Chain A
Amino acid sequence: MSAFSAIGNDREVDQNEFTPGIEPQPTWCPGCGDFGVLKALKGAMAELGKDPEEVLLCTGIGCSGKLNSYFDSYGFHTIHGRSLPVARAAKLANSDLEVVAAGGDGDGYGIGGNHFMHTARENHDMTYIVFNNEVFGLTKGQTSPTSPQGHKSKTQPEGNAKAPIRPLSLGLTSGASYVARTAAVNPNQAKEILVEAMQHDGFSHVDFLTQCPTWNKDAKQYVPYVDIQDSDDYDFDVSDRREAQEMMHETEDALYEGTVLTGRYYVEEGRRSYQQEKRHRGSMPEQPLAERYFDDDAEWERSFDYIDRHK
């Protein structure tokens, strides 16, 4: 019998089960895009029938990191930029958990950029939501890795000399096997994409446009948006890496020209997730490792079994 009875139950889940009793109302600014992420995530979890106690949500630091406070599940509010290494290890330790990581664009593409690249490369079976508002919000409006060139702030008073990160392209070239962009202003699409991302076996990267009405007033509210799957103007194959790359490039450029393109960009089916690959190579046990510690009948190897080599 599993030591983790919250995992894998087939039951109806109401999305309100994810609302904490202690602080049900988030303290994000009115009009903040982060509300949209919270709503979409709760909806997606309920749709997938996830028990709050089989979910581990790992966040970084920033307004986005507050997601944990308003989403009631097992949570790990980590440190700036480090949600991914914590999250992916938890998934390795107990592969039955539903693991989601989330953070802002500074957290994921800036300070945690190295972890983003490598977690995507390794194709861990988890979902990563990046709250992309093109600015640092919690520290009051500094230029971020996705801020456009020329963006003026207290830390870039003469205007940002740096070209912004291309988040979707970065996810793709790093090795993510599911890459999508959605927007807080498009709640239905956001929920659908999060459902797909969690169902996908591998690393799902969701760049989530979250408008910041406080520190990015001049920026677009990400409306009107275009769903590239619904539009006749765009026709490409999401399973083709080269076509996906081209579509991403166009999308990234368009955002800074005022056109908000969203949707699925790359979906690679059939590739083993990191967990599957490690098991395939015999470097990870078939059963969730954490279970063993709660099994009183488990046999434990000891160093004495290996001591002959030192004689």
Chain B
Amino acid sequence: MTNDELIWRIAGGSGDGIDSTSQNFAKALMRSGLNVFTHRHYPSRIRGGHTYVEIRAAEENVRSRGDGYNFLLSLGDSFARNPKEGAYYGEEEIKPLSENLDELREGGVIVYDSGLLDTDDIEDFDERVEENNWHVYDLDLRALAKEHGREIMRNTAGVGATAAIIGFDLDYIEELMADAMGGDILDANIEVLRDAYETVQEEYDVDAHDVSVPQGEHEEEQVLVSGSHGIAYGALDEGCRFISGYPMTPWTDVFTILTQLMPDVGGISEQVEDEIAAAALAVGASHAGVKAMSGSSGGGFALMSEPLGLAEMTETPLVLVESMRAGPSTGMPTKPEQADLEHVLYTSQGDSHRVVFAPSDPIECYEQTRKAFQVAWEYQIPVMVIYDQKLSGEYRNIPASFFDQDPNPSLGSTLTEDEIAEAAHDEFGKFERFRHDPENGVSPRSVPGQKGGHFLATGNEHTPEGHISEDPDNRVNQMNRRLRKMRSIRADLDEDERQDVYGDESADFGLVSWGSQTGTVEEAVDRLNENGYSVKALSISEMAPFPERKVRDFLDSVDEALVVEMSTTAQFLGHIQKETGGYGEMLSSFLKYNGNPFEPGEIVEAAEIEIEDRLDEPSSQTRLEPAAGD
């Protein structure tokens, strides 16, 4: 496996430029014709602390971070040097090397900054190197950086050394550097890069290992985007020109991307006092005729529960995104988890309902965010897009032409003044904003300032004119009509021929996943089928209204299925059972909640245990719960 893919991990302190360096290197690999996938691991700390980014690059499509990795560039933590912080930071300096060794594959490569790190500080380092047939390059990256520029350029030196070791053309890297910087800084970086490259070539044996850069070619120009970009760009192309929010990891990415675009596209961004206000502002802007959105992560979304219900009851179109991180409470702010599913599905008092999309990759983030706006404005209902820290920050390449799509600023079922003049009004001439009769549940809306359209929007139960009323007949009519919208939306979504099943169609063992784990599950399906099993997978990306028929069809087509999710209490499995009313006998559950996403190998192992009806425990930090019928 080593020869057909590179999984390069750059590890250092927060502040060592790990993010920007890895971004550029990923782009360089993409430009060379490879498919790339990034995985970011970082602590919830302002300064210092050990962080890494992995880039997986291969000629073939890459859908997950893979299992382990084969190339470590360890810069060490240069922010761990303050002697006053000795007790806590003292051993941190070496961690970007010592703590990354467990997952490095046999035969892998290690490059570390010998200007900063001493391997004598790591227990049994030499023995482990020998045992695992690792190839170690100790380079004084600090000295190289200082010779031509500044110490921070250690990361550039590390990239130069990497290129020499894996046989990667420096031109791709230099081009990107020229795009990002100029003048003396650019010159110094290029000198550092080339010097490191040449030093390795001259002084080290670069052929002693099997790790080399794969070769590939793209049929068309690619772009490197994250799930957060998918969501932000989907919103932009649907004519969203108002975003309100309060910073919270990981939602901040979407908020920041759109906020930075807004002045240029004639929109408005509002950073406000709290998430109650954030959601309420989006409701207010939408009410006044603008396509608006807000969002947050779990804790912030908890505050949005009431405005969410208000939007539903007043039938104000609204899109909210929820970027999950590990909970409960503050939990682990920079770690992914899929445990806000029930929070998003069920929060808000009464028989409340909303539409919930759950994209699995940047393309789906884009497409489903567009769909979210279309559904929200057509059906006048809150629509949520739920994703997680992993999808938020992981980058993949997709064809640039994918984004060559028409914008859609339509306000859906909103009337113009001419249409209002034709619409139903009561005996006092008041516009009937909330009629009982629409078959699909949608009663067209007006917007303040329009002549002939005034009405009262209220969170209380109300008559067709919006007048507050507790009349039983009106109540039943309004509840029934609003619920009819969910049925109409399900029928609407069913018209999209979504390809959700992956693998061997005739398989009798199924895997079921949602959101960010889907790519990993699909990779596991390929491996299981290569290993001689017959397996297929279903990815569910519409959580409400639930695609019940499709899920039933899939579950009916297999003997048993393993539900894979990052949650402790199997919320997704519970949701499937609630919506389908059964299948407990055949659904087993595979759970991970240690703060790290699944690796494909973990899923392969769990599936094999289930398929073979073995009783062993999975070897990784995961939990396998058998089906009731096992």
A residues within 8 Å of B by Cβ?
A: 3-7, 20-23, 52-56, 58, 68-69, 72-79, 82, 85-94, 96-97, 114-115, 117-118, 278, 282-285, 289-290, 292-294, 298, 300-304, 306-307, 310-311
Contact = CB atoms under 8 A, between A and B. Distances in A.
A274 B453 CA distance: 28
Contact of A74 (B262, B314, B454): B454
Enumerate the 7 nearest inter-chain pairs by beta-carbon distance, A residue then B residue, closest first: A21-B428, A89-B284, A4-B449, A303-B233, A290-B289, A310-B223, A85-B280
A282 B262 CA distance: 10
Given A72-B454, A76-B314, A118-B277, A86 B283 contact: yes
Contact of A283 (B236, B262, B272, B292): B262
B47 interface: no
Q: What DSSP secondary structure best describes chain A's contact surface?
A: mixed
A22 B284 contact: no
Contacts of A74: 448-449, 453-455
A91 B280 CA distance: 13
Interface string B413-434: 0101100000000111110000
A54 B458 CA distance: 18
Contact of B281 (A21, A69, A89, A300): A89
Contacts of A301: 236, 264-266, 407
B187 to A, nearest CB: 23
Interface in B224-280: 224-225, 229, 232-234, 236-237, 239, 241-242, 244, 261-270, 272-274, 276-277, 280
B326 interface: no
B281 A289 contact: no
B449 A115 contact: no
B222 interface: yes
Contacts, number: 232
Interface in B1-59: 27, 31
A115 B303 CA distance: 14
B630 to A, nearest CB: 46
B224 A310 contact: yes
A284 B268 CA distance: 6
A76 B239 contact: no
B291 A22 contact: no
Nearest to B266: A285
24 contacts: A4-B447, A4-B451, A7-B449, A21-B429, A22-B465, A68-B456, A72-B454, A73-B454, A78-B459, A79-B306, A82-B277, A82-B307, A85-B284, A90-B284, A91-B288, A92-B268, A93-B285, A94-B288, A94-B447, A97-B448, A285-B266, A289-B268, A300-B239, A303-B233
A283 B267 CA distance: 8
Contacts of A278: 268
Contact of A53 (B221, B262, B407, B454): B454
Contact of A311 (B222, B290, B428): B222
B430 A90 contact: no
